[in-house]
Structures are given as structure tokens and as C-alpha cells.
Structure 1
């Protein structure tokens, strides 16, 4: 039996970057606890695969292919979500990318792409949906940031800057849309998602944190569920780390 504080029955959740990695883990965790899902990422086919898994659990699911760094596609995503479900109760801004490159070699189009996906897109989604949530009387938004926002790393400076902006956006929107809407943020550490395939074997086994290892994707779930659920009704504008103790 699901704890009533972690019961998402009747809720509609939109998760960007929801077709794989941390996003997929959060999609499945919400569906297992009763939520209906809108799964968005650039590859519609991958979203549909996850949507089918959600439907097999008895939940409704909508798969939408959208570039979550482009406002026109974001606006279309929002309208499709509301047309299908009539509302969005939960928004998870998870889509992101952080290519490693010497700063002097970063071309303008890559810089723009990193800022667009990690900051511009979440701003548009959160501001449009957040206002609708406030008007409806309730809602929860969760931004997935990075420890790189708190301890910026060499050769991923645009990513670190964008995630620092996401942290600031979290606090600002939490104040703007309170008390009806709560806006919180997780600064994630290294996780064994698809990007870890490019890591060395040592990096996949060990990490420079207190626990000495990268996180397993499912280890994002408990923090995400807490911040999205009635268990955290007095938490908004919070930026917490889930990083193994970096």
C-alpha cells in the first residue's frame, strides 16, 4: 500500500528528458504511485516506448517529441499536454546536456544550445505552467540541476553557469508563485546513466565523494518523490544535493 504522503493518484506529471536515465526513473516512480504521465524528449519514439510501459501499469500516458530548449516547441508541448489532460499538477525539468570541451574552443552555437536546454527551456516551461498551476490553486515543480552549479568544473563552464542559473530560477519562481505552487531543485552528482558509457571503467566504479561511487539512476527517486509530494508541503525554494557526499 502506498504511503498517503507519497500517493500521486489523480495527478498529472510532465517530465522532460523522460525517455531515459534519471528522467525515466522519475516517470516510472510517479506512475507506480498513481500518476498519469506526459513524457517529453527530442525523440518521440523513445518517449512512446516509455509511455507504453506506463500504460501497462494502468496509467494514462502521452508521449511528445519536443526540443525542450526551443520556446515554440515548448509552447506546443504545453498545449498538447493541456489538451489531453486538462491540467498539469507536476512539472519535472530534467532535460539537459553538458558536453566537455576547453572553454576557448566552445562555438557560439554550442554555447547557446547548452544555455537553451539547461536554463531557457526550464524557464519557459516553469513560468507558463507555473502560472497556470497558481491560477488552478496548486502545483509542484522540480528542477534537476547539478553539483557543477555549486562547484563549477573545468571544461564544462557553460553547463555549470546554466545550472547555477537554474538554481537561482528555482528560488525566484518559488517566491513568485507561492503559496499555491512549490518550486524545488535537486543538484545531482555523477549518476550511471547513458552518459556514463563514455566514462572510463574507473570512473564508473569510483567517484570523489564520501560514498566513493557514482549513483545508480534509481537513487534519484526518493528525493524527487519527497519534493513533489505532500511530504514536503513546507519546502519551497529548496536546492538540495543528491551526490554521494561531494
Structure 2
């Protein structure tokens, strides 16, 4: 097997949440190009169907399921649909998430809780459903939790709920790796993007002060392109990353190196 062959995902089944827009589409198409069949989950079903057509145009099988990761039943249903339609699952990309930029003194605790419910609890519920499916099938797998450098550093844009949820994902990643890798063969890692052009960073891009402050902290002096995350994603998803678990792979233009 060549070095490049280790990045292939032929015969694998991958689940991508938050697959109706932004990074979710980028990740779904990258996994499909690498050879995986794809199960897509998101709340916006009309946009989800567009992603499904793009995946199928690459010659891969695909199922699309309306999914709110905040609902445990939806998480279980997405995994079940993937198994029924495509076969045993191998990869989970926990990408679904939401952002909220609001000063703490004006924040609504219910809205704070909602961000954590989607970004952190939802990722846990998806990992739980995926892990159970892998254990039931008697094989390992790879969980990739989409965190953020905002779980490690801060910007001038006030977003405590988002930052807390992404920091929580880093801790959850380590714990799940300790539980599942040794006994179950399931690798669990976090992909930690810096500021990447996407819907999630629109608020920071729109805030002149926050944008200037963030760019001043990034040695590359620019936002990342979504495609610049694909190499890291495929590393963690494939046999090329077979000795990586419990890690947080940072792709941030150097921001956290300072």
C-alpha cells in the first residue's frame, strides 16, 4: 500500500452532520472523493438534498436524513438509516453546530443552553449512537469532533456559549478516546479550525474591530479556506491516521502558536 493509498476510504461509510451548508458540504464531498459512501444529517432538508445530489454525482451512494442533533432520537435514526442504506458505519464527522455572538450581560440563559445543547450535547449524542453501532458490528471506527480555536483562545466578539461548547468538545474527545480506543478500537479526535470562511465566522467578519483583532493574532494574516481543512480531515478519518487518538489537530494559520 502506498502512502497515498492510506488516505483512501473505499468501502467505508461516513456520517456527516450539519451537512446542508458550509463546512459540512466541503467535508461530505471530500470524504466521497476519497471513496466513502455518505450519510448526511441536517435540519434543512431542502439544502440537504442538494448535498446528496453532489455526493451522488461523484459516484458514491448517499442517504440524507432530517436530523436535529439536539434530539437523541434523531441521532439514533441517522445512524440507523446509514446502516440500513449503506452498511456498517466507519466514520463520524460531528460537524453540526451553531454560533451566538452576544454580550453576556444581555444574553438569555435559555439561548446559552441551546448552543451547548446543539454543539456539545448533540455531538455527544451522535458519538454515542455511532459508538453503539460500531460496538454492535464488532469493529472500530473514527469519530472526528469539530471544535474551534475559540475553545482555546478568545476574540473581541463576545460568544461565551460557543467558546464553552468548543472547549467542552476538546475534553469530551479525550475522554471518549480513553473509553473506546483501547477496548473498542474506535479512535476519537478533534479537528480544531481557526477562523475559516464560513457561516460560523460571518459575525466576526462583519465586526470590523473583532475582525482586525483576530487577523492581527494570525501569523498568516488571513482567514482559512474550507478546503484547507480537508487534508486534516482525511488524515483523521483514514488509515493514514491509524495511530492518532485523543488528539486535537489544530489548523489555524498559527494563531495558537503564539
Aligned length: 245
Runs of 5+ consecutive residues of structure 2 not aligned to the other structure: none
Equivalent residue for 2:220, pick from 194, 199, 211: 211
Q: Do the aligned residues in 1 keep the contact of 2:99 with 2:200 (CA within 8 Å)?
A: no
SS at match of 1:190: coil
Match status 1:143 vs 2:157 = no
Equivalent residue for 1:193, pick from 181, 198, 215: 198
Q: Do the aligned residues in 2 keep the contact of 1:134 with 1:177 (CA within 8 Å)?
A: no
SS at match of 1:234: coil
Q: Bigger shift: 102-111 or 184-193?
A: 102-111
Cα deviations across residues 129-179 of structure 1 (Å, max 9, x unaligned)?
113224422100100101111114462111111111111110110111113
SS at match of 1:75: helix
Tell me the equivalent position of 1:166: 169
Report the TM-score, using the length of structure 2 for normalisation: 0.89
* Change beyond 3 A, Cα 1:9–1:221: same
Tell me the equivalent position of 2:243: 234
SS at match of 2:220: coil
Q: Do the aligned residues in 1 keep the contact of 2:97 with 2:119 (CA within 8 Å)?
A: yes
Q: Do the aligned residues in 1 keep the contact of 2:61 with 2:86 (CA within 8 Å)?
A: no
RMSD over aligned CA atoms reads 2.0
CA distance in 1, matches of 2:220, 2:42: 31
Match status 1:6 vs 2:18 = no
Runs of 5+ consecutive residues of structure 1 not aligned to the other structure: none
Q: Bigger shift: 89-98 or 68-77?
A: 68-77
Structure 1 stretches of 4+ moved >3 Å: 195-198, 200-204
* Residue pairs, 1:37-186, within 5 angstroms: 37-135=38-136, 136-153=138-155, 155-179=158-182, 180-186=185-191
SS at match of 1:178: helix
SS at match of 1:115: helix
